[in-house]
């Protein structure tokens, strides 16, 4: 009955959270009743459940029948609104990124690929903010359209085929929106602090503010940046897809190996400022750091 679970999973996507479980259980019972009525000795189980599900209709149509809430945007206008939102979700960020690239190339004195990537990365919060504003404006416009006149939109109906239902995602491929957003902002903050504000990570010694990390860390930093960019790409894909995919799983695997190599470089690179370590007699800190990085690298 895998096809049934795939069907119910898609119906649940269109149901309010508070009523979802009860409605799904009711539908499961109803579909199984129809299945028992249709099934006869010698019939193929898969063919019968396929026939019953197809007769019920597409997941969205079934969910609409069970929804009692009154939407702000009518069911007729919803597909058009979501289509425009999807177009904006692709074109708006792409346009802003191109503008940022052109702006950097025309204004930077000594342009480099790494600085270009950093410049585009720092624009991500502004891009997300612009995207949210655009979605809000589209939503408001469609509410006004919906209230101004009764929509009479007719869409070409595509025949529902249960065989085309998405597979049930494995738990390992699930991601949360909060985790993804935190990952994006964490990556941006890391890149900003370590590339443009290294002086923030400093310690006062003899009345002088000295950076905690030395030039050895600066030589390793480009490799760290590359790995952070890989992680940032993964998070952005997850934000778009709302789940892990095989490509991001592979990228995470590569990033993990690359991260292990970077940890070994940090463990053996003598990256702490000797003046601070010797001045405050903190020789235990580099030793603990080396042990921690080595264990983390192999983990």
Query: Per residue in 226-271, pLDDT tens?
Result: 999 999 999 988 888 878 888 898 999 999 999 999 999 899 888 8
Query: Per residue in 8-31, pLDDT tens?
Result: 988 888 887 787 888 899 999 999
Query: Per residue in 175-233, pLDDT tens?
Result: 888 888 899 999 988 888 888 877 777 888 777 888 888 888 888 888 999 999 999 99
d(CA 286, CA 283): 6
**Are the beta carbons of 276 and 214 closer than 8 angstroms?**
no
Q: Which two tokens stand for residue 210?
A: 């000295």
| Mean pLDDT (the chain, rounded) | 84
Query: Per residue in 107-135, pLDDT tens?
Result: 878 878 878 888 888 888 888 889 889 99
How many helices and strands in the chain, by DSSP H and E?
A: 12, 2
């Amino acid at each position: 009955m895998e096809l049934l679970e795939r069907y119910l999973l898609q119906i649940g996507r269109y149901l309010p959270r508070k009523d979802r479980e009860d409605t799904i259980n009711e539908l499961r019972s109803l579909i199984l009743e129809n299945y028992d009525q249709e099934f006869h000795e010698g019939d193929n189980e898969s063919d019968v459940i396929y026939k019953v599900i197809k007769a019920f209709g597409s997941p969205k149509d079934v969910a609409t029948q069970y929804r009692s809430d009154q939407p702000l945007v009518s069911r007729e206008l919803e597909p058009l609104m979501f289509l425009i939102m999807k177009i904006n979700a692709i074109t708006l960020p792409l346009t802003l990124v191109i503008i940022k690239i052109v702006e950097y190339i025309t204004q930077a004195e000594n342009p480099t690929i790494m600085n270009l990537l950093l410049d585009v990365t720092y624009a991500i919060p502004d891009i997300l903010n612009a995207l949210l504003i655009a979605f809000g404006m589209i939503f408001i416009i469609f509410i006004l359209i919906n209230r101004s006149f009764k929509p009479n939109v007719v869409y070409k109906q595509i025949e529902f085929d249960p065989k085309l239902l998405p597979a049930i995602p494995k738990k390992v491929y699930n991601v949360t929106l909060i985790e993804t957003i935190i990952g994006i902002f964490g990556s941006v903050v890391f890149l900003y602090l370590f590339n443009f504000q290294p002086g923030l990570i400093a310690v006062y010694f003899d009345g002088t503010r000295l950076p905690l990390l030395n030039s050895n860390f600066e030589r390793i930093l480009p490799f760290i940046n590359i790995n952070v960019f890989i992680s940032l790409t993964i998070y952005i894909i997850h934000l778009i897809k709302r789940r892990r995919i095989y490509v991001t799983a592979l990228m995470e695997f590569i990033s993990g190996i690359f991260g292990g190599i970077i940890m070994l470089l940090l463990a053996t690179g003598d990256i702490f400022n000797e003046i601070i370590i010797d001045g405050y007699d903190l020789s235990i800190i580099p030793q603990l750091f080396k042990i921690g990085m080595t264990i983390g690298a192999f983990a």
